[in-house]
Structures are given as C-alpha cells and as structure tokens.
Structure 1
Amino acid sequence: MVNPANVDAVVLVGGMGTRLRPLTLSAPKPMLPTAGLPFLTHLLSRIADAGIEHVVLGTSYKAGVFEAEFGDGSKLGLQIDYVVEDEPLGTGGGIANVASKLRHDTAVVFNGDVLSGCDLRALLDSHSENQADVTLHLVRVGDPRAFGCVPTESDGTVTAFLEKTQDPPTDQINAGCYVFKRSIIEQIPTGRALSVEREVFPLLLAEGRKVCGYVDSTYWRDMGTPEDFVRGSADLVRGIAPSPALTHQRGEKLVHDGASVAPGALLIGGTVIGRGAEIAGGARLDGAVIFDGAKVGAGAVIERSIIGFGAHIGPRALIRDGVIGDGADVGARCELLRGARVWPGITIPDGGIRFSTDI
C-alpha cells in the first residue's frame, strides 16, 4: 500500500484550451466555470480527497491566473508550487520541467483538461504492487479509432504505444494520468518540447523499463472541445461525473446566486446558469452552459451550447450545439445549429441567420 502523503501530484495545464480561448476570452479553459467552479478545482479536490498533499502546477499560459485563484493551496487542503514554462514544452517537457520541485520518490501526473473518476489510491497501489517504473491510467472506449491505443499483456505490462488507426488492436487508450518513479522523471531531457506519448514512453519500452497499465471503467472525458466541455459540465451537475468539490444537490440544473430565471423557463439536462445571468419566461435550456451576465430572451431554445460571459440571445432564437462568444448579441429568431461559432462582440441582427424552410 502506498501512503498518498508521500506522493507528489503534478498537474500540467500548459497552453491547453486553445479551441475555446478565441470564443470565451475571460479565462483559460482550466479556469472556466464548470458546474459552478473553476474546472481545475474538480481535479485538485480529487487529489486532496485521495490524501495527496503536495501539488506542482506547471503552466505556460496565463500563469498568474492560477496562482491568484489557488494561492498556496491551503483552502483545498493542499500545498501548491508553481512552475512556469517560458515556452510550451509539451507533455514530456512539462514533466521534466517540474523535477526540481518534487519532494517524494513517486509522482502522479495529470493532464489538466481531463475530467475523470479514476480511483487514485487504487492506481497508486497498482503501481507499487507491480514495482513499475511508470503506470498509465488506461480507459476502454467504444470507438478507439479516434485515439492512439495502448495494448497490454495479461499482467498489465504495456507492449506498445500505437497511433490512430482504422483497425486498432485494443480499445484501451491513454487517459492522461500517469504514475512515475521520480528517478524516471529526472532522466527526461530538459529544455525542449517533448511528447510523453510519442517520445518518452516508447523510449522507456525500448530500454526495457517496466511500464504498466491500470485499466478501469470509471468516468472519463477529455474536455478538449466545446462539445466535451458542455457534456462534462452537465455530467457534473447531474452527478454522473464525480467531484468532491461539489456540495450542491445533483439534478437537472444548477442556478447560481444572483441569476434570474423567470417563471415558465425550463432548465433541464444539467444546465448551468451563471451569476447575474437572466433567463426570460418560456426559454428552454437543455444541457446548456450560460456564463455570468448572459441574457436569454423569451422563448429561446438553447441545447448543448455555451453562451459566453455577457452575451445576449434574442427571443425565440435557437442555439443548438454551438458556442457564442463573450459579449456577442444574437438577434431574435436566429437559428445557429451544430458547429456554429460566434466570436466575441459580434452582433447578428434579428432573423439574420436561419436554417428553417419557412421565412
């Protein structure tokens, strides 16, 4: 058994969130409100809940935002150190860059934009029992063709790291969480961009190091796209995705203090309404993320979409599987369907975009 207090946690946030950043500029994605809290809070609370005390947070993008929010970590029961990359170093380079801040002989490394329910204590125990140099958290997915896959032997030993293929030999994929012996981290080259998946792990296999996989079927979602961000937020609100940081009752909606929801508005599917947002009567929101200060007009329908800080959605507008940037104004009766992206501050006049056959 591993004592988690003798384990470092490394969280890599780097330059992640680039696919949302042009649309919602108010915060880097790991800090965007997700079920009422900065996204990274959910991961840090899981780390603390597992009994890990020391966290090294590595970033190269808006580093000051993270320290301003989390400080020394004491509010979460953690001790947080910060390491800033002068330029993005990738996953492998980011891990090597934090080596000087490690306090213990074992470190668990997290990609900072993954929402997961992995049992961290069980992962650490598996690493110890197998006397592994590195242990990877692996998850099984229904369609592994969209991912690189990681085959293992019956005892869990990793045999290869394979790129995306139309005929993958396994449904096991890298879940973005790894346990390292500190001595392995100290051997990773420093000062250059480096991929842990494409360079570090394959080299360890070639050197005969013991790399193992820990496979489970817990909740897992890579929050790298707006669609996954919306789905993950809804799963947190509904209690499908776990987070020790959440104290509200799980259900179909989460309405923050200061928000206004008129009678007759329907909020379902894990919808989140931010502080100061206004939802008019007759609006129907299903799995929507409405950021602070946004306004939704009467009869508008918003499904599985992000409405940015201070954005306005006009009466009877339809937004489905889209992202509306901060401060944008979408006029009445507009229809924006799957994949629609409206940049911050853009104004679309009433009826300016429609997909219906009627006029």
Structure 2
Amino acid sequence: MKALVLSGGAGTRLRPITHTSAKQLVPVANTPVLFYGLKAIADAGVTEVGIIVGDTAAEIREAVGDGSAFGLDITYIPQAAPLGLAHAVLIARDYLGDEDFVMYLGDNFIVGGITDLVERFRAERPAAQIMLTKVADPTSFGVAVLDGDGRVVGLEEKPAKPKSDLALVGVYLFTPAIHEAVRAVKPSGRGELEITDAIQWLIDDGRDVHSTTISGYWKDTGNVTDMLEVNRLVLETVEPVVEGSVDEESELIGRVRVEAGARITGSRIVGPAIIGRDCVVKGAYVGPFTAIADHCRIEDCEIEYSIVLSGSSLTGVRRIEASLIGHDVEVTPAPRSPSSHRLVLGDHSKVQISS
C-alpha cells in the first residue's frame, strides 16, 4: 500500500499567512500540521508516500526532505493548479500503479491516527473506504448518505441542502478501481474533479464503498479558528520540560515546555504552553494554549490562546488573544499623538467638547 498526501492547495482561508507560507506547514504546538499526517501514515505501516505539491513546492520539499526523518520514502508530484482531489489521483496514476493507497489531506488533523482504518481496509478491501463525522454545518463539506444498514448510497460535494449531517473527513482508502472512476467523471460546477463524484461513480457501478463514522476529534485546519482549536487540543498533551533557563523571578504554572536556549526572566507562564528554542521572554505573561515558535521575543506584554511563528517579536503591548502571528512579525504600541480637535465652525455655533 502507498499513500498520497495532498499539499498543493492555496490556503485562501488562512491568508495573509499563506501569502508567504504553505498552509500545511503552519505549526500546531510548534510542529507543522503536515508532519502529524506523515507520522500517522508511518505509524500505520505505510512507507511509500507521494506528496502532491503546487506553488509552495519548494517550501514543502525543504521541510519534509526525502522523508527519512519520518521513516518514509517521499516522491513529489507537481500539480499545475488545484483542480480537485480526483485530479490529484489522476495525475498520480503512474506513481500509484496498481497498488491500494490511502489519500490524506495534508491540512487535516485526526486524533488517534489512521492505523485502525488502514487495518480494516486491508482486511475487507472494498473499492473505497471513507471516514465520516457529524458536523453542525454540512454545507462546507462533502456529505454522505447512508442506508438503513449503514452502507454508503450517495455522496455530494458542498450541497446547498444537505441530506445528512455526515461530512467526509480528509482520509480516503482506495483500490485501483478508483483510477477508472476519476477518468470517468467530469468537472463540477466549481471547475474541479470532485473525489465525491468519483466515489459516487463507484457506487453507481455496483462497487463496495464502506464508511467509518468517527466520534474522535477531527479538524480541517483551513482557517484561524480551527487552527487555534487544534493547537489547544495538542497543547493539552504537553509534558512540562525546562531545557532553557528560567530566573528566580519567573513563575511556570502547569504544563509548560521551555525549549533549549530559551531565556525566561521576570515572567509568568501558565500552561499548557510551549516556548520555542532561543526565545526571549522578559517581563511578560504567556497564558494557556499559547505556542511560541523558535527565535521569538516576548517582552513587556501579555498573550494567550495564540500561535506565534518563528522570528517574531511582541514588545510593550497590553493584551493579545486568539491570534495567529506569522514569521518575523514586529508588534509594538502605536505612537501616542497629542489630543486635539480640528474645527471649522460657522457663525453663532455652540460646541461642547469633553476634556
């Protein structure tokens, strides 16, 4: 079995961060989201991985390399434009050959990994196996309809009027039968080759399509709100470790990880939180569910429930919450301007100005 990991999307919902960074490399608890997926694939015993890359290919290649750090053998597959999940399968045909494969969306986060799912697929080997979860707003997802026996009978991509609340999670398992399906489907109204249409083609052709409804945690980290929520969840598992220096005037409360080279002086840090390598935290408060990446400076300010990417500095600002701050950002107080009023008043005017 091989794996196909999709990392070619533009990440429009995470702009402006993704104007300069791949969305799959935005860190959760100081680790890129993509790395969690690669680890889950390796843990499931799959070692040959093709990664679909687009405009951010160079950045993905630099971060992942040849895959040896994950115990994987990586092949990069260029995609000229993000033309749909089924299109990704179409262009990966030569790489996938006639082997079964797992398709994993590189910006998805699944607690508990995919090992059980892969083992079940290997044992039953349907033409396709999908993961489902109940969502409050199915209109933003691919939606599945099951019959009374729990079999998949229908799929629809981002329907205006969903027939169920079961959304497709970004992990799919396929036999080579899917290749015939992706060649058969036509572009949707969005101009993309939809994987939901390809799976529907398999159903209409009488092929077995199985589903697993998960009750665990899954997030598509495509927007800031979900990214911060996943960061919160992962930080809940942080073990307290101090590899940097913390002076006597500072206080660490709860699960706080201080990486090597970080210096904490006159500050209060309430976990769960991570302070990255070679950071300086001085006279500051870092609150729960905050991940500060490497080489940052946090001075004379307060920050909580936030993600700060590497090389950024926050100095002299009173309070920052629920924020995603990019690489090499500087946040400082606005300069104070004299309090004044500019008036153009007609004759016989009466004006009251609070002092």
Please report the TM-score for the alignment, with normalisation by the length of structure 1. Answer: 0.77
1:166–1:101 distance in 2 versus 1, CA, 3 Å:
closer
How many pairs align? 323
CA distance in 2: counterparts of 1:247 and 1:297, whole angstroms = 22
Verify the 8 A CA contact 1:306 1:323 in the aligned structure 2: yes
Cα 1:19/1:260, change in 2 over 3 Å = farther
1:287 correspondence with 2:289: yes
Q: 2:317, 2:331 within 8 Å by CA — same for their partners in 1?
A: no
Measured in 1, the distance between the counterparts of 2:115 and 2:312 equals: 42
Per the TM alignment, residue 198 of structure 1 is displaced from its structure 2 partner at its CA by 4.7
- Tell me the distance in 2 between the aligned counterparts of 1:201 and 1:16: 24
SS at 1:51 equivalent: coil
Residue 246 of structure 2 corresponds to residue 252 of structure 1: no
Measured at CA, do residues 228 and 256 of structure 1 come closer, stay the same or move farther in structure 2, by a change above 3 Å?
farther
**Correspondence for 1:57:** 51
2:309 equivalent to 1:297: no
Q: Residue in 2 aligned with 1:135?
A: 129
State the match for 2:273 in structure 1.
271
The alignment status of 1:114 with 2:108, answered yes or no, reads: yes
Q: Which residue of the other structure, out of 198, 217, 223, is the alignment partner of 2:215?
A: 217
CA-atom RMSD, angstroms? 3.2
CA separation of 1:93/1:10 partners in 2, compared to 1, >3 Å: closer, same or farther?
Answer: same
User: How far apart are the structure 1 equivalents of 2:156 and 2:150?
Assistant: 16
Using the TM superposition, give the Cα deviation of residue 99 of structure 1 relative to its aligned residue in structure 2, in angstroms.
Answer: 1.4
Alignment match, 2:340:
none
Per-residue deviation, residues 25-54 of structure 1 (Å, max 9, x unmatched): 663122233323332221111111111121
Report what 1:314 is aligned to. 315
Instruction: Go from structure 1 to structure 2 and tell me whether the alpha carbon gap of 1:43 and 1:68 turns closer, same or farther (over 3 Å shift).
Output: same
Does structure 1 retain, via aligned residues, the 8 Å contact 2:178–2:198? no
2:92 paired residue number: 98
Describe the SS at the equivalent of 1:194. coil
- Structure 2: unaligned runs, 5 residues or longer: 243-253, 338-354
Task: Please give the per-residue CA displacement for 1:144-203, whole angstroms capped at 9, x wherever unaligned.
Answer: 465443122344321222455787554321001101112322542399863434532333
Q: Which residue is equivalent to 1:338?
A: none
Matched-pair contact (CA < 8 Å) for 1:138–1:216: yes
1:81 match: 75
**Between Structure 1 and Structure 2, whose CA radius of gyration is higher?**
2
SS at 2:12 equivalent: coil
Corresponding residue of 1:208 = 206
> Which amino acid in structure 2 is aligned with residue 312 of structure 1?
S
Structure 1 match to 2:229: 231
Greater relative contact order (Cα < 8 A, sep 6+): 1
1:200–1:49 Cα change, 3 Å: same
With normalisation by structure 2, the TM-score equals: 0.78
More moved, 153-162 vs 187-196: 187-196
Q: In the alignment, does 2:13 pair up with 1:19?
A: yes
Q: 1: CA distance between counterparts of 2:117 and 2:240?
A: 25
